[in-house]
Amino acid sequence: MTGAVRTTCPYCGVGCGVVAKAGGAGGWTISGDPEHPANFGRLCSKGSALGETLGLGGRLLHPVVDGGRATWDEALETVANRFRAVIDEHGPDAVAFYVSGQLLTEDYYVANKLMKGFIGSANIDTNSRLCMASSVAGHRRAFGGDVVPGNYEDLELADLVVLVGSNLAWCHPVLYRRLARARAERGTRIVVIDPRRTATCDAADLHLALKPGSDVALFNGLLAYLDRSGALDRDYIARHTGGFAEALAAAAGEPRAVAEACGLDAGEVERFYGWFAGTEATVTVYSQGVNQSSRGTDKVNAIVNCHLATGRIGRPGMGPFSVTGQPNAMGGREVGGLANQLAAHMAFTPEAVERVERFWRAPRIARREGLKAVELFQAVEDGRIKALWVMATNPAVSLPDAGRVTRALASCEFVVVSDCTRDTDTTAHADVLLPAAAWGEKDGTVTNSERRISRQRSFLPPPGEARPDWWIIAQVASRMGWGEAFGYGSSAEIFREHAALSGFENDGGRAFDIAALADADYDALEPVQWPAPGTARLFGDGRFPTADGRAAFVPVRAAPPATLPDAGFPFALNTGRIRDQWHTMTRTGRVPRLASHIAEPFVAVNPADAQAASLEDGGLAVVRSAHGRAILRVRVTGDQPPGRLFAPMHWSRQFSAEGAVNALVAPVTDPISGQPELKHTAVGLAPFEPA
Round to whole Å and give the CA distance between 500 and 494: 10
Round to whole Å and give the CA distance between 478 and 146: 32
Round to whole Å and give the CA distance between 365 and 367: 6
| Stretch of 36-44, 116-124, 155-163, 192-200 contacting ligand SF4, by CB under 6 A | 36-44
> 3-class SS at 572?
strand
Residue among 47 and 289 whose Cβ is closer to ligand SF4: 47
3-state SS string over 140-208?
A: HHHHCCCCCCCCCHHHHHCCEEEEECCCHHHHCHHHHHHHHHHHHHHCCEEEEECCCCCHHHHHCCEEE
Give the total of residues touching ligand SF4 (CB under 6 A).
14
Closest CA to 412 of 395, 393, 434, 437: 395
Question: Which one among 6, 7, 15, 190 touches ligand SF4, defined by CB under 6 A?
Answer: 15
Instruction: Calculate the CA 102 to chain-centre distance.
Output: 10
Residue among 486 and 582 whose Cβ is closer to ligand SF4: 582
Q: Which of residues 630-669 bind ligand SF4 (CB under 6 A)?
A: none
Round to whole Å and give the CA distance between 194 and 604: 15
Residue among 579 and 633 whose Cβ is closer to ligand SF4: 579
Residue among 50 and 476 whose Cβ is closer to ligand SF4: 50
Residue among 43 and 147 whose Cβ is closer to ligand SF4: 43
Give Cα separations from 358 to 353, 365, 504 (angstroms): 9, 10, 12
173 part of the interface to ligand SF4, by CB under 6 A = yes
Closest CA to 286 of 246, 339, 322: 322
Give Cα separations from 112 to 282, 326, 338 (angstroms): 37, 18, 8
Q: Are strands 571-576 and 681-687 parallel, antiparallel or unpaired?
A: antiparallel
| Stretch of 61-69, 136-144, 169-177, 358-366 contacting ligand SF4, by CB under 6 A | 169-177
11 part of the interface to ligand SF4, by CB under 6 A = yes
Beta bridge partners of 30: 20
285 part of the interface to ligand SF4, by CB under 6 A = no
578 part of the interface to ligand SF4, by CB under 6 A = no
Q: Per the omega criterion (within 30 degrees of 0), is the bond before 531 cis?
A: yes
Q: Which of residues 43-62 bind ligand SF4 (CB under 6 A)?
A: 43-44, 46-47
Q: Which amino acid is at 263?
A: G
- Shortest gap between Cβ of 440 and ligand SF4 (angstroms)? 14
276 part of the interface to ligand SF4, by CB under 6 A = no
DSSP character string of 486-500: G----HHHHHHHHHH
594 part of the interface to ligand SF4, by CB under 6 A = no
Contact between residue 386 and residue 403 where contact means Cβ atoms under 8 Å apart: no
Beta bridge partners of 241: 551
**Which residue has the CB atom at the shortest distance from ligand SF4?**
47
Question: Which one among 87, 174, 630, 632 touches ligand SF4, defined by CB under 6 A?
Answer: 174
Closest CA to 132 of 292, 334, 348: 292
- Shortest gap between Cβ of 50 and ligand SF4 (angstroms)? 8
| Stretch of 171-179, 202-210, 337-345, 380-388 contacting ligand SF4, by CB under 6 A | 171-179
Instruction: Calculate the CA 340 to chain-centre distance.
Output: 16
680 part of the interface to ligand SF4, by CB under 6 A = no
> 3-class SS at 115?
helix
573 part of the interface to ligand SF4, by CB under 6 A = no
Q: What values do phi and psi take at 504, rounded to 5?
A: -60, 150
| Stretch of 4-12, 98-106, 410-418, 604-612 contacting ligand SF4, by CB under 6 A | 4-12
- Shortest gap between Cβ of 46 and ligand SF4 (angstroms)? 4
Question: Which one among 9, 60, 390, 446 touches ligand SF4, defined by CB under 6 A?
Answer: 9
| Stretch of 39-47, 76-84, 310-318, 507-515 contacting ligand SF4, by CB under 6 A | 39-47
Round to whole Å and give the CA distance between 190 and 193: 10
374 part of the interface to ligand SF4, by CB under 6 A = no
- Shortest gap between Cβ of 13 and ligand SF4 (angstroms)? 7
Q: What values do phi and psi take at 538, rounded to 5?
A: -125, 155
Residue among 282 and 326 whose Cβ is closer to ligand SF4: 326
Residue among 53 and 625 whose Cβ is closer to ligand SF4: 53
| Stretch of 5-13, 99-107, 261-269, 536-544 contacting ligand SF4, by CB under 6 A | 5-13
323 part of the interface to ligand SF4, by CB under 6 A = no
User: How much is the CA Rg of the chain, to the nearest whole Å?
Assistant: 24
30 part of the interface to ligand SF4, by CB under 6 A = no
14 part of the interface to ligand SF4, by CB under 6 A = yes
| Stretch of 172-180, 248-256, 279-287, 508-516 contacting ligand SF4, by CB under 6 A | 172-180
List interacting residues with ligand SF4 (CB under 6 A): 9, 11-12, 14-16, 39, 43-44, 46-47, 172-174
